Amino acid sequence: MASELRVNTLKDAAGNNSIATSFVASGSAKAWADYSGSGTSYTASFNFASATDNGTGDYTVTFTSAMGSGNFSINGIASAGQVGDEYTVSFLSSDTSASSRRIFSSTNYQPGSSNGVARDNIMNISVFGDLA
């Protein structure tokens, strides 16, 4: 038989509203995606509405529910096409939109430089911060 826990309020030992619930809500990813790196669709995602392919290794991802501001944490990793390939994922730091973020995937590439080669990779992205 499956167990079920139902509560209206969770409080700490002193009877105060529990900070545990705020840690869970604040510490959870507000969006995540597995993106193929070519085309405009996600393999699997949560709170990602669409993707724009701006060119090889250059994408703009849009959230279903916007973040509270452009100040949020986003991180990701790109899969290597071959053993020994080193791929990086960069996020446009001047992009302060709460509803989208521009992402670059490449071989040791920095946006605006001639280093590396932009690549279409499978990327995994997660976003942390406050929703609007």
What is the per-residue pLDDT across 121-130, written as a single tens digit (0 to 9) for each? 788 899 998 8
**What is the per-residue pLDDT across 52-82, written as a single tens digit (0 to 9) for each?**
888 888 888 999 999 999 999 988 888 765 5
Q: How far does the chain reach from its first CA to its final CA, in angstroms? A: 39
110: pLDDT strictly greater than 70:
no
Phi, psi of 51 (to 5 degrees): -135, 140
Q: Residue 115 has what pLDDT?
A: 61
Describe the chain by its helix, strand, coil percentages, rounded to 5. 5, 40, 50
| Between 77 and 13, residue with greater pLDDT | 77
Q: Is 119 helix (H, G, I), strand (E, B) or coil?
A: coil
Q: Residue 69 has what pLDDT?
A: 93
- The ranges assigned to domains in the chain are 30-128
Average pLDDT in the 98-116 region?
73
CA distance 54 to 92: 13
Q: What is the DSSP letter of 108?
A: S
44: pLDDT strictly greater than 80:
yes
Phi, psi of 26 (to 5 degrees): -75, -30
Q: Residue 15 has what pLDDT?
A: 74
If we measure between CA atoms, which residue out of 67, 66, 61, 65 comes closest to residue 42? 61
pTM: 0.72
